[in-house]
Amino acid sequence: MRTPSQGYGPDDHKRTPPESPGRKISLLSYLVVFLLGGGVVWGASEAFSPTSPTGDVNSGGHPASSEQVEAPNSQPPMVTPDRENAAIQPPGNFVANVVSTVGSAVVRIDAERTVTAPSLPPQFDNPMFRQFFGFQMPNSPQERIEQGAGSGFILSSDGKIVTNAHVIDGADSVTVTLRDGRSFDGRVLGTDPVTDVAVVQIEAEDLPAVTLRDSEGLQPGEWAIAIGNPLGLDNTVTTGIISAIGRSSSEVGVADKRVDFIQTDAAINPGNSGGPLLDQQGRVVGMNTAIIQNAQGLGFAIPINTVARIAEELIEHGRVEHPFLGLQMVTLSPQVKENLNRNPNQSFSIEAEEGVLIVQVMPGSPADQGGLRSGDVILRIDGESVTSAEAVQEAVSRVGVGDRLTLEVSRKGTTETLTVQTGVLGQ
Which backbone phi and psi does 207 adopt, to 5 degrees? -85, 150
CA distance 413 to 22: 119
**140 a catalytic residue:** no
Residues whose CB is less than 8 angstroms from the CB of residue 352 and which lie 6 or more positions away in sequence, other chains included = 332, 337, 377, 379, 410
CA distance 362 to 247: 26
CA distance 26 to 14: 26
Q: What is the DSSP letter of 280?
A: T
Q: What is the DSSP letter of 252?
A: H
**273 a catalytic residue:** yes
Q: Give me the residues paired with residue 302 across strands.
A: 287
**20 a catalytic residue:** no
Cα three-residue angle 403-405-410, rounded to 5 degrees: 160
Which backbone phi and psi does 329 adopt, to 5 degrees? -130, 165
Helix, strand, or coil (residue 382): coil
CA distances from 25 to 30, 41, 406 (A): 9, 25, 117
Q: What is the DSSP letter of 68?
A: P
CA distance 397 to 321: 10
Answer for the pair 238, 264: CB distance below 8 angstroms, yes or no.
Answer: no
Amino acid at 199: V
Give the residue from 301, 285, 290, 300 showing the smallest Cα distance to 216.
Answer: 285
Cα three-residue angle 415-419-421, rounded to 5 degrees: 150
CA distance 314 to 320: 6
Which backbone phi and psi does 322 adopt, to 5 degrees? -105, 130
* Catalytic member of 56, 110, 166, 215: 166
Residues whose CB is less than 8 angstroms from the CB of residue 354 and which lie 6 or more positions away in sequence, other chains included = 332, 333, 387
CA distance 381 to 3: 133
Integer-rounded Cα Rg, in Å, for the chain is 44
* Catalytic member of 151, 243, 248, 273: 273
Q: Which are the catalytic amino acids?
A: 166, 196, 273
